[in-house]
Every structure is written in C-alpha cells, then in structure tokens.
Amino acid sequence: MTFDDRHFGRLGRSVSDAARGAFSKAWKTSRFFPPRLGKWVFALMFGAVALRADPPPAVVAKPAPVESPELRTFRAAYEAQAARMSEARDRAILGALRQAIAKADAELQERARVRNVRGIMIARGLKEALEETAAAYAKDKRLVWPENVRRENEEALAAARAEAEAAAAEADRREAEFKAQALERFLAALPPSDRPADPEAAQTLFAKWAAGEWPPGRAPEPAPVPAPPTPGGETPAVATPGAPGDAPAPASDFFAQSEGAGAAGEWFVAGRFSAEMAGPELIRIAVLGRTANDQGRQFNPLSQQTTNWTYEHARTIPAETPHVFRLRRVEDAETVDVVAWPDPSRGGALSVRSRAGMRFPLRVAFELQAAPAGAAGAPASGAVSGAPGEPPPALVEVRVTSEPPGATIMVGDRIYREGATVAKTPCTIRIAPETHAVRVQLPGYADHVVPEFRAQYLRSLHARLTPERDLPGRRVKVNARQVWESPGELRINAGDRLVVVASGQWTIGAKGEATGPDGYDRKDPAFQHYYGASAPPRPVTEANYGALLVRIGFPGSVYAAGSEFGVTARQSGLVYFDVNESPTAELRKDNSGSLDVKVIIIPKDGRTTRGR
C-alpha cells in the first residue's frame, strides 16, 4: 500500500514532493506494525525529518517605499511655498484688522479733538475690541470676535469682520488650489506601484507625505562634507554635494566655476543672465555658438506665476573649442546653483536652478565668463564688454505712458529697470538712439507692441491697453444638466492664455432658484440651504454652489470660472465646462437653463495689440 493524499488528508496536499516521498517510504517500512495507529505514528515520526529539511519557501516582503530624489526636491519646493502662503494669509488677515484699527483710531482722535466724551468711549471700545482680535489671531492663528460690544460699534465691527473673513476665504481658496496642483505633481512623481487608484487614498497618502509621515524609508538630506585640510593650515571650506563639475572655493566675485577654471586665462564675458523667478525653477540656456540674445518664459505650477528670463549675448563661445566657465555675481541679485556646465554633447546649454530655501518672487542674475581650456596667461580683471574700445552711445529719454497706468516695459527682450526697480508707467526711460522693439505689459490686458520704435526720432510712447475680455472669441452655450461638456470642441495648447466671460442664468437644484455664473452667494442668508452639513455635494467646495466650472484636458485642474476668469494653460487639451454640483443624475434632473460663455484663446506668442 502506498501513501497518498487519501491517507494523509489535507496535510498531503500542503507538503512538497520530497516530504510526500519520505512519508510514503515510512509507510511501507511500517508494515511490521500490526495496529493501524502504530503505522501512522511511525510514518509521522519518520516523515517529520523531511518536513524540517524542506521548509516552505520564505515570503519575500515588498520593499518599503523610499523617497526619490525627485520627491525630495519637490518636498523642499512644496514646504517653501506652503510657508509663503501661510505668511501671505497672516499678512492679509492682519492687514485687514490693522486697517480697521487705524480707522477706529482716527475716529478716536477726531472725537478727542472735539472733546466728545461719549464718542471717545465708543471709538475707544471699538479700537480695543479690534486690537484684542488682532492679538488673538497673532497668537493662535484664529479669528475670535468679541461678543459684548456697544450697539453703536456693531456695524463697524461687522464691516471689519467681513473684510478679515473675506481675506481668510481668499487665502483658503489659494491654498486649496495650491494643494490640488501639488497633489497632481506628487502623484505624477510616484512610481506606478505606489500610486493609489482611489482618490481618497491618494489624498490620504499625500497628507501623510506633506506631514513627513510617508514614506517610512524616507532618505535623509545629504550632509555637507568637510573639505580636506589645506597645507597652510587655513580653515577649509565646506563642500556640499551638488552639480557635476563644481570647482572648490571660487574667488569672492565668482560664486561658481567649472573644473579646470583655475588654470585658465584670457577670460572674456560671454553674456549676462537675469530672471524674475516666480518659484523653484530649472532653466537651460543654450550658450555655445550663440550669436544673439535669448529669452524665455516658464510657468511655475506651485506659485501659479510665470518666470521670465533673458540672456544678453556679449561674445560667441565657439562650440568646437573646449572652454572653461565661471559665474560672476551681480549686485542686488541672488545667485543660482549650477546643474550642468555647457557641453556640446548636451546641446551646449548651461543649466541652472534656484537655490533651495529662497523666498519668491526672486530676482537672480549672473555674468557668464569663459576662457579656452588650458590657456596660459593671467585672468582679465573686471568686466569685459562685448565690443572693447567702442564708447557707449549717448542715451535719449523717452516718456512712456499707458491707459490704464502701472504697466511694465520691455525694450528688446528684457524688462526695463531703473537700478534694481522695475519701471512702471507713467515713467521716463533712457535708451540708445536707435530702433527698438518695445512691449508694454499689464496683467489682464493684451500686450501693446511697437515692433520698430525709432528712438532716434521719437521721444514719447502712449499705449492704450485692451482688456483681454474684449478680445474676439467664440461664443458657446453651457447646459445646466450636462457633465463636463466641451461645446464646439475648443482646444488649447500649453502656454496659451484662456479667458472665459460668462453671462445669463440657470436653475440648479430642486428649489427652482435662478442664479448666474457665480452661483448662489454663500453669504446671502436666502441661500444657506445650499451650504452646511445637509447641503448637496459640490466638486469645488471653495466655490459657490451652482457656479460655472472650467477645466483644461481630462483629467486636468478644475477652476471656478464664475462670470470672468483667466488662466495660462499648463497642458494641452480640450476646454470643458460644468456646473459646481455633484454629477449624479438624481441631482441634475431638476436643473434647467444654460449660460452664454465667450471663450477667448490667446496663443502664447500672440497676446498683443499693435502700436506704432
């Protein structure tokens, strides 16, 4: 008789082939045992040796997730931007309170001047109540309003409260948008195996990551490495791991240099770089073989602003000849970190990034100097102009005005400044008496461009700026029952400007109350049934119920458009519209009406009106 699964039951199916053979052999050997129970005991005792020698395979645990370098870089940017938004929130709320305190103080001074005792007591009570609220917020970051105030101060206190709470609501809206964009970037940086499929799980994971609780295997930041001691006993500099090719201890005027720069001579100025950094950025400037100026724009998803940079060409660096490089400081400007020095194999680009821990917006600038690799001779002292020996031409003054005022001016491909201050209209600029391309810019308006402004003949320039909303666009209807529809299949490219101007009314929900593109005002007591714990859900909690929503691409960031809205597209795709209400058929069945929406798509390089 042989040992098989029928004799050994479930255990026979769970052991390996070697263990089965051992039990079978033991069973045959036990034929001299008359009782059946004795045969089982012997087989079990003999076969146990095989079981110990043939343990089940070990379960390989999934390795704990470790924070990637990309996530570490994003963490630094996220924490810096979150700190800036918290500071901006405090400034806005305390600023509103201080304005109310100043107004109450002015009233108190006036009552004291006319010796109105009762008025003095009323004004002093209001000022003290506002000061207590400001002190409580500065301490605990909470708005606590006094309950017992004089009847005469109720209206003024209510106005101050409305201003402060409006500032807090705007800060909350900006923070929610920032976190939504940060969540998208966080998920994109995760490997597919760590990326949650469920939106709630993704939110939870992001919250843990933002709080520093995930991943458990988070790698520590690289620590500075002490440099080797110098022969003369001088205090060594601290070397920080960073860009490839970083050279030790550049001279005081130079904050970075490539390997081998210390032995080079015959330095010359290749160009000058400047940028208005809107957030943490990596910028590549093609410098090898360049014969003209360059400029660029990069949209920063964290700050929702655009970084503008310019490179002023001074002298061409031949791509076929090896060179070494160094960066010289510019007064009143911050420096950068070098990611990669120019190399023909990488397209001849200098790659730089903003330093960690900097506060934005930030002006950075440097002068790029180059020298043939291994050239003999002493380094040149001071800055070398692009055309040595030529005296600079006399400058002429041009008066620039705009309607409305407050616009910036670009001459050629750089923003005009007086020293470190960006000039704004109305102002007088000093430029060379020659033909320039002049651009007048103001947010919310189309750029006014004069392609050929002849400064040798003209001494004034007036720009009548056109609001973006008045530019020609396409009109579409947005239905209250449809879910994320793209009427007319409107497509936009990354970098283009989207402007939405909406009008009309629709009815959202079972109440049958009409509203416009901005939705039901949450501050209006008549519409409080749309808000609160028992209110129907809505996708964008920061926006009013029933407001017009817009998104670019699918999936893509969702914006509360309302009556008028503008944004620079971060990705290409169709333009979709929806109402700020849950997309369930049960809620949408009572909706009726539609909005008239004017959609204006302004190409990245076409945001202009022509002037002469």
b/e sequence 547-578, b meaning 16+ C-beta within 10 Å = bbbbbbbeebbbbbbbebbbbbbbeebbbbbb
Residue that the structure tokens 């998208």 belong to: 184
Q: What is the pLDDT of residues 28-60, one digit of tens each?
A: 665 555 555 555 555 555 555 544 545 555 555
Domain ranges of the chain: 5-53, 69-180, 244-372, 396-466, 470-610
User: 117-140 and 154-189 are packed helices; what angle lies between their axes, rounded to 10 degrees?
Assistant: 20
Residue 522 exposure: Cα atoms within 13 Å on the Cβ side: 14
Residue 449: predicted pLDDT: 87
Residue 446 exposure: Cα atoms within 13 Å on the Cβ side: 23
Q: If we measure between CA atoms, which residue out of 364, 259, 258 comes closest to residue 311?
A: 364
Q: What is the pLDDT of residues 59-87, one digit of tens each?
A: 555 566 677 777 777 788 788 888 888 88
The amino acid sitting at 498 is L
Q: Is the Cβ–Cβ distance between 485 and 479 less than 8 Å?
A: yes
Q: Return the number of other C-beta atoms located less than 10 Å from residue 486's C-beta.
A: 16
Q: Return the number of other C-beta atoms located less than 10 Å from residue 410's C-beta.
A: 19
Q: Is the Cβ–Cβ distance between 371 and 257 less than 8 Å?
A: no
Residue 531: predicted pLDDT: 85
- How remote is the C-alpha of 565 from its chain's centroid? 19
Within 8 A by CB and 6+ apart from 65, the residues are 194, 214, 215, 216, 217
Q: At 388, list the tokens.
A: 């040595």
Q: If we measure between CA atoms, which residue out of 460, 463, 468 comes closest to residue 402?
A: 463
Residue 505: predicted pLDDT: 92
Report the distance separating Cα 124 and Cα 135, nearest Å: 16
Q: Is the Cβ–Cβ distance between 147 and 171 less than 8 Å?
A: no
Report the distance separating Cα 247 and Cα 256, nearest Å: 7
In 494-591, which residue ranges form alpha helices assigned H by DSSP? 585-588
Q: Return the number of other C-beta atoms located less than 10 Å from residue 235's C-beta.
A: 8
Residue 405: predicted pLDDT: 93
According to DSSP, the β-strands at 336-340 and 435-441 are unpaired
Q: At 575, list the tokens.
A: 């333009």
Report the distance separating Cα 413 and Cα 441, nearest Å: 13
Q: CA-CA distances (angstroms) from residue 572 to 382, 492, 600, 606?
A: 47, 6, 15, 17
For residue 353, the SS3 value is: strand
Residue 596 exposure: Cα atoms within 13 Å on the Cβ side: 4
Long-range contacts of 582-588 (CB under 8 A, 24+ apart): 582/536, 582/537, 582/538, 582/539, 583/483, 583/484, 583/539, 587/509, 587/536, 588/480, 588/481, 588/483
Q: Is the Cβ–Cβ distance between 317 and 290 less than 8 Å?
A: yes
Residue ranges of the chain whose pLDDT lies below 50: 1-3, 9-14, 50-51, 53, 219-251, 375-391, 608-612
b/e sequence 76-112, b meaning 16+ C-beta within 10 Å = ebbebbbebbeeebeebbbebbeebbebbbebbeebe
Q: What is the pLDDT of residues 468-493, one digit of tens each?
A: 888 888 899 999 888 888 887 788 88
| pLDDT, mean over the chain | 78
Residue 238: predicted pLDDT: 38
b/e sequence 355-385, b meaning 16+ C-beta within 10 Å = eeebebebebbbbbbbbbbeeeeeeeeeebe
Report the distance separating Cα 534 and Cα 76, nearest Å: 39
Q: What is the pLDDT of residues 345-403, one digit of tens each?
A: 777 889 888 876 667 788 899 999 998 875 433 333 333 333 444 445 578 889 999 99
Beta bridge partners of 326: 257, 369
Strands of the sheet containing 573-579, edge to edge, are 491-492, 573-579, 548-552, 558-560
Residue 407: predicted pLDDT: 94
Q: If we measure between CA atoms, which residue out of 40, 49, 55, 42 comes closest to residue 22?
A: 49
Report the distance separating Cα 529 and Cα 538, nearest Å: 13
Cis peptide before 555 (omega within 30 of 0): yes
Q: If we measure between CA atoms, which residue out of 581, 577, 599 comes closest to residue 513?
A: 581
Q: Return the number of other C-beta atoms located less than 10 Å from residue 411's C-beta.
A: 19
Give burial (CB, 10 Å; 0-12/13-18/19+) of 589. exposed
For residue 123, the SS3 value is: helix
For residue 574, the SS3 value is: strand
Residue 400: predicted pLDDT: 93
Q: Is the Cβ–Cβ distance between 440 and 425 less than 8 Å?
A: yes
Residue 578: predicted pLDDT: 92
Task: Judge: domain 396-466, CATH 2.60.40.1120.
Answer: yes
The predicted model scores a pTM of 0.37
Residue 126 phi, psi dihedral angles, 5° rounding: -65, -45
CATH number listed for the domain at residues 470-610? 2.60.120.430
Q: At 135, list the tokens.
A: 């002190």
